[in-house]
Structure 1
């Protein structure tokens, strides 16, 4: 394993002590604001505020809860501004700890909202009937993966835009954010979501990595209704592209700041190749296994039985994302019907690691 250089020392100390880190000015006019997201093992999300001539711009907003809202309001006050001075909001991706406070923010101010179109398309207002259809489809997907009676209510946790409101700017790769006094551009890094964006400012020497690159853990990359068919392949390709960037200081959405983008990418690519080998071995040892059965047989950061319903569902969808890559590489083959079962492909040539995207 390679070693990154931790630059957010107070953030890392707070992480180790399991407390909220302080609001910090990372660069002149660039602030890091921690917003809690309990109950969740990640504990908080880091929101970034960039000072503009007439207010501030935000990168992400935080989890949709009262304590998160208060932390965001107080954090903005610590920068010398008020929540009503938010002029621009760029969203890394659609997950509720990043987009969740946007509807509440819109009750106080009307900023420009910017986001990648792949994620923006899921934020429109939906009727209760449409929501129930989405949940029913997700239930069928879980059955195909071999899950027990687990209902996927993830759709209910998505913060939607108010009726009639839309994303103002749908960003694509290398699009500028057009923020006065800043040189921020969007980098499309799909994988964690289909529209995940990082934001880089070469002049300031920073890259806001969202959940794409975290200093300590790999982000969840899962198959689901909001993703492309093969999200892990997208993520591995995104990592390879990130490896070629200048060595900007990474400002992630969780944990702490760091340097060493290329080293962190190497670690993550190696991690996923190791995971692909482990899953292949699990299928070889137990042919005709479902994604759920494979998920239960591989290692996790804690015993599988302690994950709880939501984390177990995420783990299974993450395992399935690896299975799809192994099918693409010709290593494993799925059966027809539901639940889908997996077998080692007789035509697979060579070890999984030899089929790496690198």
Structure 2
């Protein structure tokens, strides 16, 4: 079957695209998510095919992934390895099942492997206490905190999302060529969206001879029409301050310098002109930081700043759990503004409020 036929037969089977040169993508569905799907990439190597990400841990996603592997001309048992761009469940969710079915190894950057390990080992009640403490410090109102406190007091503490996530067998070392016979695939550390996010640079001529340097599997770091969430990923036992937004902006500059001929992201679609997309994202974040600094003409807590920020829907329509993510993003931006000397904490305020400088 031709690539065009496979790609056009969405109703008859998985949406699979042949990117040529031994590279395919499989659109694996994400349940109840506006993103729709994760683009799992399959790369042919001298030891068998390797996946870049795996998709969400869901029966329909598994069926789509395995059917997609078949459409690429392989069986799931042929898989040699799994390369994880980052630990989020729409990328890493099916990794354990892939390993169980095929014996494939799983590789991930050490920083994200630490997040997986912490999540697997975490006592849910302790993490709930940490979340309440963090939200209280951010200025969350009592009506938002009350359900969390009640759940803790009544012992209604469920397992954390991600506690079944697979621990990797191998480490993806930044800058290293991966051990994939017949391919030149180099790891590029791009922290920001997660602390251990990696892009994978296929340092080979583009099969269509497009100008540029190879192809880049960009995960969530560089997407054609979306700016990824940048929040805080912190260890309750580690008080070292971090600047994930600063990390992300620096990582964008790094990717632009690679000048790939084509970008193969984990969502939406493949695209060219990585440097142009990086410029758009840098401008977007500078404009957003300027807007937040204007909002801080009136001192605000992180929660109040999140309420005032522009999202894809009005604050009152943002679901309960998503508000926690929004506050985390507001805090990441605040932290970057403070680091750049453009905002500061108001002395003696509790919860801490921030103002523009």
- TM-score normalized by the length of structure 2: 0.84
> Of 242, 246, 266, which residue of structure 1 is paired with 2:279?
266
Q: Which residue of 1 aligns with 2:74?
A: 81
> Of 231, 235, 242, which residue of structure 2 is paired with 1:222?
231
Question: What is the alpha-carbon distance in structure 2 between the residues aligned to residue 81 and residue 159 of structure 1?
Answer: 30
Aligned length: 329
**Is 2:79–2:102's contact at 8 Å kept on the other side of the alignment?**
yes
1:177 paired to 2:178: yes
Q: Which residue of 2 aligns with 1:240?
A: 253
Alignment gaps of 5+ in structure 1: 1-8, 346-358
1:210 paired to 2:219: yes
**Is 2:46–2:180's contact at 8 Å kept on the other side of the alignment?**
no
Deviates more, 1:275-284 or 1:227-236: 227-236
Deviates more, 1:331-340 or 1:58-67: 331-340
SS in 1 for 2:49: strand
SS in 1 for 2:26: strand
**Is 1:59–1:90's contact at 8 Å kept on the other side of the alignment?**
yes
Question: What is the alpha-carbon distance in structure 2 between the residues aligned to residue 241 and residue 32 of structure 1?
Answer: 25
Q: Which residue of 1 aligns with 2:40?
A: 47
Question: What is the alpha-carbon distance in structure 1 between the residues aligned to residue 121 and residue 23 of structure 2?
Answer: 40
Which whole-Å deviations, capped at 9, do the CAs of 1:130-163 have from their partners, x for residues lacking one?
232123212211211122325599982225456x
1:158 paired to 2:171: no
Q: Which residue of 2 aligns with 1:350?
A: none
Question: In 2 relative to 1, CA 242–154 (structure 1 residues): closer, same or farther, beyond 3 Å?
Answer: farther
User: What are the equivalent positions in structure 2 for 1:346-357 lying under 5 Å apart?
Assistant: none
Which whole-Å deviations, capped at 9, do the CAs of 1:73-112 have from their partners, x for residues lacking one?
1110101111111111000001000111112223212212
Q: Which residue of 1 aligns with 2:329?
A: 318
Question: What is the alpha-carbon distance in structure 2 between the residues aligned to residue 154 and residue 208 of structure 1?
Answer: 35
**Is 2:120–2:162's contact at 8 Å kept on the other side of the alignment?**
no
**Is 1:194–1:228's contact at 8 Å kept on the other side of the alignment?**
no
**Is 1:100–1:159's contact at 8 Å kept on the other side of the alignment?**
no
Which whole-Å deviations, capped at 9, do the CAs of 1:256-277 have from their partners, x for residues lacking one?
1100111111110111111111
> Of 340, 344, 347, which residue of structure 2 is paired with 1:333?
344
User: What are the equivalent positions in structure 2 for 1:66-77 lying under 5 Å apart?
Assistant: 66-77=59-70
RMSD: 2.9
Question: In 2 relative to 1, CA 22–161 (structure 1 residues): closer, same or farther, beyond 3 Å?
Answer: closer
**Is 1:134–1:155's contact at 8 Å kept on the other side of the alignment?**
no
Alignment gaps of 5+ in structure 2: 150-156, 207-213
Q: CA deviation at 1:62?
A: 0.4
**Is 1:33–1:46's contact at 8 Å kept on the other side of the alignment?**
yes
Question: In 2 relative to 1, CA 176–159 (structure 1 residues): closer, same or farther, beyond 3 Å?
Answer: farther
